[in-house]
Amino acid sequence: MPEPITLVQVKQLLTEEAARRTLPREATLAQAHAEMFARLTPEQAEKLVAALEGLPSIDRSLAVRIADILPQYPEEIRLLMAKERTGFDEEAVARVLEVVGPAPMSRGSG
């Protein structure tokens, strides 16, 4: 299975590919989605994913989803963690909020 990448990385890859050739319709739609919803620069996203992966029970896939969504409330984090096989207590949710909390929400030009 390929390694999950952040939405801003998808945006970057599709932008580079669009400079080389005409993208298929699906890729163009994916690029528009990524441009609309990617809120971090590639560097900010990677730093955030790395920090999240440092927390117990958070793998790359979950870290990428959290970095893409930038949840602000415990309920949002619980929803993202609901599909995981390991249980997450309130302390784990609070730690994720601490890491995500200071994440800048500027639109990256990445």
pTM: 0.85
Q: How many domains does one find in the chain?
A: 2
Both 80 and 95 in a single domain? yes
Both 56 and 19 in a single domain? no
Both 50 and 65 in a single domain? yes
CA dist., res. 95 & res. 28, Å (int): 36
Both 48 and 96 in a single domain? yes
CB 7 within 8 A of CB 37: yes
What digits encode the pLDDT tens for the residues 44-76? 999 999 999 999 889 999 999 999 999 999 999
Answer yes or no: is 96 within a domain.
yes
Go through 59-91 and write b for each residue having 16 or more CB atoms within 10 A of its CB, e for each that does not. Answer: eeebbbbbbbbbbeeeebbeebbeeeeeebeee
What digits encode the pLDDT tens for the residues 5-59? 999 999 999 999 999 999 999 999 999 999 999 999 999 999 999 999 999 889 9
Domain interval for residue 66? 42-100
CB 33 within 8 A of CB 20: no
